[in-house]
Structure 1
């Protein structure tokens, strides 16, 4: 009787397991695809963490609209703020802003909840840090390092300019807009207390990093900062900006 009872339980357990498996298979087969969910608006395309080229193609532009929105807001009310880009904004508010952007909610950076410009700069830096491939693509990291080692200043400018011109259009145009903005930030250096070195330290690891660090993190960080600082100093020639 004991053996018979065990056999009955074993058969029952096996049947239950098979039933669960079958139900799971039917659910997986019936569930809508990611594309279908996106078309119905149930799952929205992310902005943060999206590849730059994919995002720009989706928006039909060569500069992400969120980047343009942030830069406009910062130039409107934050250029003379002490420690602009160096000071961190409230992280929970930055995350709230990020969530709204990813959910494609109407965003007005003039609203009081975004009045702290450090929140806007924090969200902008987070956008660049979370790109799957940085604004300076992986393949370009070492060529930029080699370019920054050139002794002759004029040759160095031309080498860096050529490297940027060889990048995809969204990378070029986003760089041009960003560095033009940072160049203007420096014109308020007496008020905001930011320098080319300070901006280089902030944006070096934000805009570029190697695909594989290879244990040279400290060395790479020096080059990251130097490259951004040099491009910023020479931005008028590199990006053909107005010197006024």
Structure 2
């Protein structure tokens, strides 16, 4: 059996070999060339970890298909080791995770671009694993390792004695980006251009595999009963002009009765197959009885999933750039500015938003019991209510989105008016 030092030496040899194989490819995204607009990272210079954050190594990219936060680590964005304090990198990773570890979350690791010149030491990796105590590991549901190489497998063998069997089961190797579509909201992923080019090269070289230019077939037209992935207008037309979509009204009604006082409501995920089954029932126009699932987190996840799969976010594409400017508004004026933005929504979007935010305000009023303050709800719902028309939500863009959503929840009566939509619309 090889010793740990032998494995470490073998890992370094493998990484050097991979360096040589990739030397004809483009340089990693840490070059002097500017990144495309949708991937450029522009954190505020006052950010406590600006020295690390400016590289874009770590990103938060909305939720996956089942309501779990996506944390992305891109190796190709690591600068040469002498230009980065790796202890600061570890502290920044913990700083980022601390905002989300109370929720279920997913970690996506893009391995391409890790080289001898920019890789952290194996000692650093041991320290990182040791510092990630139970609070970080418990709610991490899956670790996707994208484009794994022999180096990854050797490192895994080095760490195997340290890693629990339960944690080991969370590891999933992903050979091609296309495989992520089955599990994640692919369009919202922040993927460095070099990773995309590397993936295209791998697919082109894949024996018998489809060339990169192969297009997916056009989507089938939606069913008349379709609820997920179609517009609010479509749902309204197909449901006798119902002002509130059935998925929203039914989940909210159920959660008002049985979920408002549940600790961590909206923070937990549910079994993936259950969510798929419920979505299928809704899309086929069949009745859904949440009591059958004996899990109040099922309707909670269904509500978030419905919002996330709308072709246009509930708070519309038009509001996204306005919300991004919110940090420049004086704190004392932000509530009135949010009121102006909300009142500019199209009528149907305003009605549905008022109904939903009334409920979230109600949830926040029970925060002593459910631990879901307006700030916590904003962290969960912000990315499900608002996203850009093109590209992904960057870590920088999340802050104003969360502030905006927190104001909508906490100051609901001021922002939306004193009349509760629940009194106007019967769920």
Same fold (TM over 0.5): yes
Structure 1: distance between partners of 2:418 and 2:238 = 28
Q: Measure, in 2, the Cα distance between the counterparts of 1:126 and 1:218.
A: 21
Higher helix share: 1
2:325 alignment partner, SS class: helix
What is the DSSP-based 3-state SS (H/G/I as helix, E as strand, rest coil) of the residue aligned with 2:286?
A: coil
Is residue 401 of structure 2 the alignment partner of residue 224 of structure 1?
Answer: yes
Aligned counterparts of 1:176 and 1:187: Cα–Cα separation in 2: 16
Does structure 2 retain, via aligned residues, the 8 Å contact 1:176–1:239? yes
Alignment match, 2:244: 63
- CA drift of 1:237 comes to 0.2
131-140 or 50-59: bigger deviation: 50-59
Please point out which of 296, 318, 325 is paired with 1:146: 325
Partner in structure 2 of residue 92 of structure 1: 273
Which position in structure 2 is the counterpart of 1:156? 334
Which residue of the other structure, out of 193, 218, 229, is the alignment partner of 1:49? 229
- Give the corresponding residue for 1:172: 350
Count of paired positions: 200
Instruction: Give the CA deviation at 1:142.
Output: 0.8
Aligned-CA RMSD value: 2.1
What is the CA–CA distance in structure 1 between the aligned matches of 2:416 and 2:280, rounded to whole Å?
Answer: 33
Which runs of 5 or more structure 1 residues have no equivalent in the other structure?
A: 1-33
- CA deviation vs aligned residue, 1:72-115 (integer Å, no higher than 9, x gap): 00001111111001111222111111110000012233x322x2
| Distance in 1 of aligned mates of 2:394 and 2:331 | 27
Take 2:355 and 2:232, find their aligned partners in 1: how far apart are those partners? 14
Q: Distance in 2 between matches of 1:163 and 1:82?
A: 32
Q: Kindly report structure 1 stretches of 4+ aligned residues shifted beyond 4 Å.
A: none
Alignment counterpart, residue 313 of structure 2, candidates 128, 131, 134: 134
Question: As a proportion of its length, which structure holds more strand?
Answer: 2
Secondary structure of the residue aligned to 2:285 is coil
- The answer to whether structure 1 residue 241 and structure 2 residue 418 are counterparts is yes
Question: Structure 2: where are the runs of 5+ without partners?
Answer: 1-219, 421-427
Q: TM-score, normalised by structure 2?
A: 0.44
Alpha-carbon offset, residue 148 of structure 1: 5.0
Matches within 5 A, 1:21-36: none
Structure with bigger gyration radius: 1
Residue 66 of structure 1 and its aligned partner are, at CA, apart by: 1.5
Task: Show CA shifts across 1:96-150 (max 9, x none).
Answer: 11110000012233x322x211000001100001111111111111112224531
Higher RCO, Cα 8 Å, sep 6+: 1
Is residue 56–residue 170 contact of structure 1 (8 Å, CA) maintained in 2?
no
1:237 partner SS: helix
Contact 1:148-1:227 at 8 Å conserved across structures: no
